[in-house]
Amino acid sequence: MTLDITLTRRRVAAAALTAALLVPLTACGNEDPKKDTAGSTASGSASAAPKANLTVLAAASLTNVFKTAGVAYEKANPGTKVTFSFAGSQELVAQVSQGSPADVLVTADTKSMDKVEGDTGTPAIIAKNRLVIATGEGNPLKVDDLKDLADTKLKVVLAAPEVPAGKYSKQILDAQKITVKPVSQEPNVRAVLSKVELGEADAGLVYKTDAESAKDKVDAVAIPDAQNAIAQYPAATLKDSKNAEAAAAFVAWLSSPEGQKILQDAGFEKP
């Protein structure tokens, strides 16, 4: 009887010891998947854009949409800050040529980008646009088409010839043999829009997206495709960027589904 009790106690102790040894082994077995998961998460983070403070030189007509895009990009890439500098493409090109520190350049035409091809990576077209005639709200002077802009009684404002919007304007007016004598020629298309918004001009040629951004203050008169010009927006990294990888990630994002949705929601056309 005493022997049976002793054996039973030894078996219980052995079982307890075995169970105690198995607990750490089981825990170790569960740790590996957690480590794998953490590794996967780390890998996922590594594939995201690296953190950086990016400076993007962008055409004035991108002002509204890029502000929206910047917020979305920063949200998707915590730790990254995107600062935009908006101006006419000719001004941006001059800044790049003078060595202004920046990471990305986005112009409103390919010719402007071509002028600094030695300073940039390979450009990618991220969007297209077209011109419209902007008039005061309600179109009080009944501007119906391009020919109406030749009326000397109208105060018409255009972008300067060296500005992409000015080049496109000249192109379509010359093609229709229409002579317009503008009251002023502005350094960028947003300045043209502003003149019409403030009532300092009766009409002006701007991009469709510009008119859309101020639809509560101006009316947009469509220009038939056969008489219009299509603006292309190339984006490229700058070779002197100190954030080359982050800059490339931002340019790639502009062509991504999320970036394209933001652009197209603002009225820009597919590349």
Cα–Cα distances in angstroms (integers) from residue 31 to residues 27, 36, 37, 88, in the given order: 6, 9, 10, 57
Cα–Cα distances in angstroms (integers) from residue 204 to residues 69, 130, 183, 190, in the given order: 27, 14, 10, 11
Distance CA(69)–CA(97), nearest Å, equals 26
**For position 144, what pLDDT does the model report?**
96
Mean pLDDT of the chain: 86
Cα–Cα distances in angstroms (integers) from residue 239 to residues 26, 50, 104, 208, 227, in the given order: 54, 17, 9, 32, 38
Tokens at residue 197, please?
A: 């918004």
**pLDDT < 50: residue spans in the chain:** 1-47
Cα–Cα distances in angstroms (integers) from residue 268 to residues 26, 161, 193, in the given order: 58, 23, 17
Which amino acid is present at 59? A
pLDDT tens digit sequence for 191-222: 999 999 999 999 999 999 999 999 999 999 99
Is 71 in a helix, a strand, or coil? helix
pTM over 0.75: yes
Which residue, among 63, 91, 92, 109, has the nearest Cα to 212 in the 3D structure? 63
Kindly list the structural domains of the chain, giving each domain's residue range(s) and its CATH number in brackets, ordered by start.
53-128+232-265 (3.40.190.10), 130-227 (3.40.190.10)
